[in-house]
Structure 1
Amino acid sequence: MANNSGRRRRWGSVRKLPSGRFQARYPGPDGALRNAPETFETKADAEAWLVETEADMRRGDWRDPNAGAVNFLLYATAWIDERDLAPLTEELYRRLLRLHIAPTFGESDVKDITAPQVRSWRAALRKRGIKTTAAKSYRLLKSVMETAVDDELIRRNPCRVKGGGKEVAAERPHATIEQVLQLAELMGPRWQLMVFIAAFMALRPEEQAELRRRDVDLEKGVVWIRRAAPELCTGERAVGDPKSEAGKRALRIPPELLPEFERHLRWYAQEGEDGLLFVGERGAPFRRSTFGRKWRKARKKLGLDHLRFYDLRHTGNVLAAGTGASLRDLMAFMGHNSPRAALIYQHSTEEQQTKISDGISAAVVDIRTRRRRPTADETKEAREA
């Protein structure tokens, strides 16, 4: 097709459509002719677009506009399938995709998702009051679309909201030692050790669910955390490694809790070296639903409706920090990976772990002693008797 100077273009062509707008066509690297993704108001605009597209091809920056014609929901589902995710993480991703991402983008092609659409979608989620969920959903969408960029399905990630995936969580509540002791009493003798372990040793619920007799060494006063068994929404126990590599750890048992361990092992744990530490009344692994009902009833009685069982870990963290432990020792205690790579392979000393457990134990003993101490009236009555 001739250009404005009467010469035929050496690459690509421009033609006028019946609507009066102009269409640009060009040969791709495979020789097949392709239309520009949009039409142009003037012939000059169409030709300028062809010049830019040819330059992109020479630089290796060209992307096939049809490459992204892949259904987003199918692509995102495959993205999750292809990753070696922890069971709870996989469950979370599938739930976020199903409930919060797919309703907006599920029927779209990957290439058709735009930055303005992403901004509007995120804003709508936040207006519903689910800001934390909005941040998690945004991070998932951004990761999926970043892979689409790597797969050369799209040129640029449409998730470009600055800080869009940042969560600003409220300060987690934590129970006092007195409240922990009261909660343990209300939970009853079968479950009170779970409360103590969560609050005074900071174990995650899924780590407690897979503790076995062989993991408890009363002679050395140590509990080994080797495995975890998170319970999925289906009720399945997904037995595997702890949440992180740092989750595999040995923790000192606060001396004040040793009698609690001894009694629990004698009365409630499954028989055999490989027996589970915590089981229901019928001998089966405890279920989150059954335990949850007991927990909600106990916390309600104390007016602690806001306190999740997981929040007891925060109690343990606060108590451990109060012993003067270093950041590295706290991370070993909590089973967290360091934010700094240099600390990943450094381990807490046995002496410092003993200091943490002894410090927590001393605080528990102090509160228990105060609870058992007779009041002035009780002392007077005893004297008069």
Structure 2
Amino acid sequence: MAGKRRQFGRVRKLQSGRYQARYVGPDGQLRPAPETFRTKRDADDWLADIQTEMRQGDWRDPDAAKVPFEKYAVAWVAERPVGETTRELYGILVRVHLAPTFGRMTIADITPAAVRSWRRARLDAGVGPTTVAKAYALLRTIMGTAVEDGLIRRNPCQIKNGGTVNTPERPTASVLDVFAIVDASQPRYRALVLLGAFCALRWGELVGLRRRDVDLEAGMIRVRGSVAELNSGKRIYKAPKSEAGKRSVAIPNSILPMVVDHMQQFAEPGADGRVFVGAKGATPRRNHFNGLWHKACAEVGIKALRFHDLRHTGNTLASYTDASTRELMTRLGQSSTRAALIYQHGSRKREREIADGVDAQIVDALKRRPRSKGHARGTQA
């Protein structure tokens, strides 16, 4: 009596003694298992799993995931609806940190073990933890898209908190530190330092300010965008990353005279005139200013302080005014949670009260400042 004919797939014994399993996929193509099996039972079990996947609609074309990672990643970056600076960052992370290891591997061949080995090798090679975290987060997102595309069943990026950026605690400049740096800075950049510290504005927001954004009568600055510099040297004006970035920030009264003085001496004329302009009439570049910044810090004996750390100074001073978390987020243009966007527009009156609280701390610090050191032009003791 003839044996019962198999209803799904075929199994045959090879000359090597191992067993090969094949089946016809939903696309009508005859597809062999990616490996041979030691026993016929193992081959039958594999076919049973494939049949279950087809019945449940979970079957994936095994050839689809044979696309090289670099080809897939480059296309992924090109298709993302992101700004130029983010696209540039993604491109660098793929080219420098992901492609050398995964570039020629197919999407299907990237395993959790391979991802773990890559991450460890990057850290052991001295690559900064922040950079590795960003590269891992990008890899995880790209592979997540491959899962959505039906190329792979599971994301191989399984490292807990692998994409978390642990930013080390940065130093906070005191009020007197800020004024010491101001004294040592070139006159055209003194207001920039003061606004960076006491209004907690970012570098890009400061150099992106136009005369129309500064209301001297009300003592308010309206932030509506920022200047970003690409690796190519090209500079672009872009909107904030979130709606919370668009905000009005009150200027503490103690530094307002210096801002007025700056607008009269150095800002370009006209409503669209730039507030901060370099000595040669161009928008200041970050690398050039960093040289001036480090020189001023060294002159007054302040070490390891970045210009961006002034934001931490401003945040700290504002937090001492009993401002709520929502009010602080509004002043700093941050939106760490979706719900916070609902409250992005803090009241103008409360913003002025926060600035007055910061101002009181400035005045108190300046009163205790030794007379022998002098004072920044346009400020009061």
In the superposition, the TM-score normalised over structure 1's length comes to: 0.92
Deviation, structure 1 residue 373: 4.2
Equivalent runs, 1:1-385 vs 2, <5 Å: 6-129=3-126, 130-339=128-337, 341-346=338-343, 347-371=345-369, 373=371
C-alpha distance in 2 between matches for 1:65 and 1:72: 15
C-alpha distance in 1 between matches for 2:100 and 2:297: 37
Q: Provide, for residues 266-298 of structure 1, a one-character-per-residue CA deviation record: whole Å limited to 9, x for no partner.
A: 111112110101111111111112111101222
Q: Which amino acid is 1:253 matched to?
A: I
Deviation, structure 1 residue 300: 2.7
Deviation, structure 1 residue 146: 0.2
Tell me if structure 2 keeps the 8 A contact 1:270–1:283: no
C-alpha distance in 2 between matches for 1:203 and 1:56: 55
3-state SS, counterpart of residue 61 of structure 1:
coil
Which range is displaced more, 207-216 or 365-374?
365-374
Q: Percent identity?
A: 49
Q: Provide, for residues 142-170 of structure 1, a one-character-per-residue CA deviation record: whole Å limited to 9, x for no partner.
A: 00000000001111111111221122221
Deviation, structure 1 residue 338: 4.2
3-state SS, counterpart of residue 230 of structure 1:
strand
3-state SS, counterpart of residue 363 of structure 2:
helix
C-alpha distance in 2 between matches for 1:45 and 1:302: 75
3-state SS, counterpart of residue 236 of structure 2:
coil
Q: Provide, for residues 351-385 of structure 1, a one-character-per-residue CA deviation record: whole Å limited to 9, x for no partner.
A: 2211111111122122223336479xxxxxxxxxx
Paired residues in the alignment total: 371
Extract structure 1 runs of 4+ deviating beyond 4 A: 372-375
Tell me if structure 1 keeps the 8 A contact 2:207–2:227: yes
Tell me if structure 2 keeps the 8 A contact 1:209–1:230: no
The verdict on how the C-alpha distance between 1:12 and 1:369 changes in structure 2, with shifts beyond 3 A counting, is same
Q: Which runs of 5+ in 1 are unaligned?
A: 376-385
C-alpha distance in 1 between matches for 2:306 and 2:87: 22
Which range is displaced more, 32-41 or 120-129?
120-129
C-alpha distance in 2 between matches for 1:19 and 1:297: 75
Deviation, structure 1 residue 173: 1.5
Q: Report the aligned-residue RMSD.
A: 1.7
Deviation, structure 1 residue 80: 1.2
C-alpha distance in 2 between matches for 1:200 and 1:333: 11
Tell me if structure 1 keeps the 8 A contact 2:243–2:341: no
Tell me if structure 2 keeps the 8 A contact 1:255–1:361: yes
C-alpha distance in 1 between matches for 2:162 and 2:283: 40
Corresponding position of 1:381: none
3-state SS, counterpart of residue 309 of structure 1:
coil
Q: Which amino acid is 1:74 matched to?
A: K
Deviation, structure 1 residue 301: 3.0
Higher RCO structure, 1 or 2 (CA under 8 Å, sep 6+): 2
Tell me if structure 1 keeps the 8 A contact 2:184–2:300: no
Q: Which runs of 5+ in 2 are unaligned?
A: 374-381
C-alpha distance in 1 between matches for 2:79 and 2:372: 63
Q: Provide, for residues 104-157 of structure 1, a one-character-per-residue CA deviation record: whole Å limited to 9, x for no partner.
A: 001111111111100111112222342222111111000000000000111111
C-alpha distance in 2 between matches for 1:173 and 1:40: 61
Q: Which amino acid is 2:302 matched to?
A: L
3-state SS, counterpart of residue 23 of structure 2:
strand
